[in-house]
Structure 1
Amino acid sequence: MSARAYPDAVDVVIVGSGPTGAAYARILSEEAPNATIAMFEVGPTVSDPPGAHVKNIEDPARRSAAQHASQGPSAAAETVSNPGAVKSGRRLARAGTFLLEDGYQQPGEDGLPVAAMSSNVGGMAAHWTAACPRPGGSERVPFVPDLDELLDEAERLLGVTTHAFDGSPFGDLVRERLAKAVDEGRVDETRVQRMPLAVHRREDGRLVWSGSDVVLGETTRANENFSLHDESLVTRVLLEDGRAVGVDVRDVRSGATHTVRARFVVVAGDALRTPQLLWASGIRPEALGRYLNDQAQIVFAVRLRDVPPLAADVPADGALAEYSGVSWVPFTDDVPFHGQVMQLDASPVPLALDDPVQPGSIVGLGLFCAKDLRREDRVAFDDVERDAYGMPAIRLHYRLTEADHAVMERAREEIVRMGAAIGDPLDSHPFTMPLGASLHYQGTTRMGRSDDGESVCDADSQVWAAGGLFVAGNGVIPTATACNPTLTSVALAIRGAWKVAAELAYG
């Protein structure tokens, strides 16, 4: 197969096509429309338009094919959508993602057994639940003064709304019952409320879930100076005199390699592969890969009681039956977990596997716990062993502390209390998901106030050790969060994109 034509030089290279990489492309298309931008994605295009959420694919066979194509080196592997997978104890990924073959757990450590990634245009935003809560309390980045403005912009790019399920007949009932159980002593912004979701409705009423396609928007797609190259692996960021000047990229289809020069490079992969690329490029600041954190996840399923039967038919094609919607119990510093209560068929993980599921009456509760941050929790890389893409093999070091176990135990007690407030449990005991199941890994390229060895980049996401090199994604978030991190990571990416646009304007 002949090699494809890559540009020899552009103003900005973006590595990764997930929502943060897409945010850079969108902001630059708006603020610096004359800048040339090349985006590289290791995985294939699996949806139309590129980067769209696979849930929007109405045909089940085509949707399944898109998920399998996103599973990179594990395209034929079983996934968690199979019956019995969640509680079977087997290491299975969610549909559309793939696991680390090894290196996920070191001797004597807890590890992240089901840490997963996806390889496709749109990244994990082609498979996510689209929940976009704002961080609160200690989740917020204290040294980013314009965080609320950035979050507003992130909501614009992602198309966030709290009204997607206004018509759900049981949504208000669920929130009313939850509020009686948890709202006492909370301020307005931390009380039970509708979950902000990146979703909109078509004219025919069908829900359309946001992916990177929404973030890119028509502005980027119409930008003649923007190009997207799928199945293209960036293997190295090039440095000259301490500054990023381009990348080496390998055409996955042909194996041919090419150098693309650039004034700025943005590495917008996930929290495992962004530090991997920096490491492979010889960019190895002391904090690289450190402060890896996940959100331990506790789940519980209940059947709503005292609800009238509904006449509406339950879809048989995997589409969402809009009965209970998605509700949010915000994180607080006093209650250090974040809650999602959703229609069971809205969840990517089946929670009630041995019970006949009636979408009108079964809801799943999930509590995500903030991690006790430790420098020792990290992603490390093997300079000898290689992964399926030929990059340095990933090795995860991860432990739960006594404080983590205490928060998780408290979450188990709380989720049972919350579940009893709204319905009858399907199982008397909550289930603790295997570590890594949240897919919310953070901290490995964290931003900081100063170059003190505890952070990789500054508040604009520019890497301390390399001028012109920016990092993006959940790994940039420096705080311990319990809420879904995508809105925050997109907000921080917008700040970086503004910085790049300003520097481009000044030449």
Structure 2
Amino acid sequence: MSGTDLERAARYPDAVDVAIVGSGPTGAAYARILSEEAPGLTIAMFEAGPTVSDPPGAHVKNIEDPDRRAAAQRASEGPGAGADTVDSPGAVKSGERRARPGTFLLADGYAFPGEDGLPVAAMSTNVGGMAAHWTAACPRPSGSERIAFLPDLDDLLGEADRLLGVTTDAFDGSPFGAVVRERLAAAVDEGRVPATQVQRMPLAVHRREDGRLVWSGSDVVLGDASRENANFHLVDESLVRRVLVEDGRAAGVEVRDVRTGETHRVRARAVVVAADALRTPQLLWASGIRPDALGRYLNDQAQVVFASRIRDAERLVPESNGAHGAREQVAAEGALSEQSGVSWVPFTDDVPFHGQIMQLDASPVPLAVDDPVVPGSIVGLGLFCAKDLQRDDRVEFADDATDAYGLPAMRIHYRLTERDHEVIDRAREEIVRLGAAVGDPLDPRPFTMPLGASLHYQGTTRMGPVDDGESVCGPDSEVWAAPGVFVAGNGVIPTATACNPTLTSVAVAIRGARKIASDLASESA
């Protein structure tokens, strides 16, 4: 056998116990739990995109060199790399279709006449998935956001905290954080139970011994248990084009080596599809797994943003919470930095939006040249709205057209209902009230982001307690129509959430991984 043949054989085994499609946080959660609870199982993880960080799956914010960070983002943009739809600072407010660095937009099929569509529905293609680019916010769901038929949800959320490395103290040294929370609490907390009162945002962020921030990506979720598991292999630039099903059960995957164009078949006893909320149903459809609920109940979180300047910031700097020389530190162009703090206004059923309040080191709107910004004194407020779930909000797949990856082209049908518009109007009023409570608004009017901007798409492979045609998978994430096939990611969440969904989707993935570990172990016994 030649050296090239040996390399190909190493990249693509003939058979494994578990094939995982996608390397984002939920795919990584499957690998981690299986490595911890069933280390004897062989696992192959296939990722269509390249490795853009070291270690693989790390957050690009941890890349200190700006040129290398930008190169990692470009490499994550798949077919959108170099397109004029990639964002530049402030471009989202121009009314143009723009994607954030590291992501790409659908070329077409994102809206149809008479519908709202999701004009900025975005994806990324790289080892680590969107976890290489996310804001790392990990709030817990509350009220109707919770999945009521999962009795162990709180335990699963706790495990998800562990895998993601969630903390609440990473920004305790930022100036004005306590001031922001105190002012928000005075405007919000009355009548709320402690769990839904203003608090620090749980973040998948920690500090190294030298004090620098480290943002969690899939590398943190994988952990040492996966990396040290000789039975786990991550294969990048490998596009899974079909899940193989035999006698109604999972049998493996068909994967194309992006580097060579060659196609391989890898047998598997279980297959986990963790592509994202748009590409997971796409792959199932391409594989002939087409339950009635597939792609339906698509939901995004409409997002309203606003900005204020903390009142009396100049006077408060010496008294701020650990400012430690804030004025001398270098700004980070509006990004979360050492000056930042992130506060949380939780969702309630009576107030159906979730607030993510971030202190910025620069103003998002132009200020006078002689009007300097005290670091951390600009507060960006964002309210995410829970969707009025509709079965007809959906992603469909064309039988006569393909996308850049050769898979069935996506067609998104999406409408805001009257109730959605009412909630967005309420959010616009509320965000102005919160902005005034914190400080002096920089612009009198809030801005409603283009639909799809949240990146929190859900529902397309939704979980249900029974197979009644309204769900794709059961409580363990196993697809009703194809036993042995499991789905993962935000698309599995069946509820209308306003909070960032990653913690919940990782929690649900943990349950599915435990199911696989138990089933395959018993089959081998």
Aligned equivalents of 2:262 and 2:448: distance in 1?
Answer: 45
Aligned equivalents of 1:201 and 1:84: distance in 2?
Answer: 29
Aligned to 1:36: 42
Structure 1: stretches of 5+ with no match in the other structure: none
Aligned to 1:201: 207
Question: Could you give the per-residue CA deviations for residues 380-415 of structure 1, whole angstroms, max 9, x where no partner exists?
Answer: 000111000000000000000000000000000000
Aligned equivalents of 2:197 and 2:161: distance in 1?
Answer: 20
Correspondence list, 1:143-182, <5 A: 143-182=149-188
Give the C-alpha shift of residue 178 in structure 1.
0.2
1:382 aligns with 2:398: yes
Correspondence list, 1:396-415, <5 A: 396-415=412-431
Name the SS for the 1:73 alignment partner. helix
Counterpart of 1:130 (choices 122, 133, 136) is 136
2:361 touches 2:376 (CA, 8 Å); kept in 1?
no
Aligned to 1:438: 454
Correspondence list, 1:83-482, <5 A: 83-307=89-313, 308-309=316-317, 311-312=325-326, 313-316=328-331, 320-344=336-360, 351-352=364-365, 358-482=374-498
Q: Which amino acid aligns with 2:507?
A: A
Aligned-residue Cα RMSD (Å) equals 1.5
Question: Could you give the per-residue CA deviations for residues 319-354 of structure 1, whole angstroms, max 9, x where no partner exists?
Answer: 7433341000000000000000002259xxx84356
Question: Could you give the per-residue CA deviations for residues 464-495 of structure 1, whole angstroms, max 9, x where no partner exists?
Answer: 00010000000000000000000000000000
Aligned to 2:8: 4
Q: Which amino acid aligns with 2:74?
A: H
Question: Could you give the per-residue CA deviations for residues 354-389 of structure 1, whole angstroms, max 9, x where no partner exists?
Answer: 677553211100000000000000000001110000
1:499 aligns with 2:515: yes
Aligned equivalents of 1:316 and 1:421: distance in 2?
Answer: 25
Q: Which amino acid aligns with 2:222?
A: L
Aligned equivalents of 1:168 and 1:118: distance in 2?
Answer: 31
TM-score, L = length of structure 2: 0.94
User: CA separation of 1:282/1:477 partners in 2, compared to 1, >3 Å: closer, same or farther?
Assistant: same
Aligned equivalents of 2:254 and 2:235: distance in 1?
Answer: 13
Question: Could you give the per-residue CA deviations for residues 253-303 of structure 1, whole angstroms, max 9, x where no partner exists?
Answer: 110000000000000111000000000000000000000000000000111
Aligned equivalents of 1:408 and 1:255: distance in 2?
Answer: 46
Question: Could you give the per-residue CA deviations for residues 109-155 of structure 1, whole angstroms, max 9, x where no partner exists?
Answer: 00000000000000000000000000000000010000000000000
1:324 touches 1:363 (CA, 8 Å); kept in 2?
no
Q: Which amino acid aligns with 1:436?
A: G
Question: Could you give the per-residue CA deviations for residues 213-261 of structure 1, whole angstroms, max 9, x where no partner exists?
Answer: 0000011000000000000000000111110110000001110000000
Q: Which amino acid aligns with 1:465?
A: A
2:86 touches 2:104 (CA, 8 Å); kept in 1?
no
1:13 touches 1:266 (CA, 8 Å); kept in 2?
yes
User: CA separation of 1:369/1:421 partners in 2, compared to 1, >3 Å: closer, same or farther?
Assistant: same
Aligned to 2:73: 67
Name the SS for the 1:424 alignment partner. strand
1:80 touches 1:86 (CA, 8 Å); kept in 2?
no
Aligned equivalents of 1:376 and 1:341: distance in 2?
Answer: 33
Give the C-alpha shift of residue 83 in structure 1.
3.2
Aligned equivalents of 2:366 and 2:126: distance in 1?
Answer: 29
Q: How many residues in Structure 1 have an aligned counterpart in Structure 2?
A: 504
Aligned equivalents of 1:44 and 1:80: distance in 2?
Answer: 19
Structure 2: stretches of 5+ with no match in the other structure: 318-322
Name the SS for the 1:68 alignment partner. helix
Give the C-alpha shift of residue 80 in structure 1.
5.8
1:315 touches 1:321 (CA, 8 Å); kept in 2?
no
1:300 touches 1:351 (CA, 8 Å); kept in 2?
no
Deviates more, 1:354-363 or 1:106-115: 354-363
Correspondence list, 1:47-66, <5 A: 47-66=53-72
1:449 touches 1:458 (CA, 8 Å); kept in 2?
yes
User: CA separation of 1:353/1:10 partners in 2, compared to 1, >3 Å: closer, same or farther?
Assistant: farther
TM-score, L = length of structure 1: 0.97
Give the C-alpha shift of residue 81 in structure 1.
4.6
Give the C-alpha shift of residue 317 in structure 1.
5.2
2:99 touches 2:120 (CA, 8 Å); kept in 1?
yes
1:78 touches 1:93 (CA, 8 Å); kept in 2?
no
Q: Which amino acid aligns with 1:169?
A: P
Aligned to 1:46: 52
Name the SS for the 1:160 alignment partner. coil
Aligned equivalents of 1:33 and 1:491: distance in 2?
Answer: 20
1:287 touches 1:453 (CA, 8 Å); kept in 2?
yes
Q: Which amino acid aligns with 1:185?
A: G
Name the SS for the 2:74 alignment partner. helix
User: CA separation of 1:465/1:207 partners in 2, compared to 1, >3 Å: closer, same or farther?
Assistant: same
1:322 touches 1:343 (CA, 8 Å); kept in 2?
no
Aligned equivalents of 1:77 and 1:499: distance in 2?
Answer: 42
Name the SS for the 2:107 alignment partner. coil
2:339 touches 2:361 (CA, 8 Å); kept in 1?
no
Q: Which amino acid aligns with 2:390?
A: R
Aligned equivalents of 2:89 and 2:416: distance in 1?
Answer: 29
Q: Which amino acid aligns with 2:418?
A: E
User: CA separation of 1:80/1:359 partners in 2, compared to 1, >3 Å: closer, same or farther?
Assistant: farther
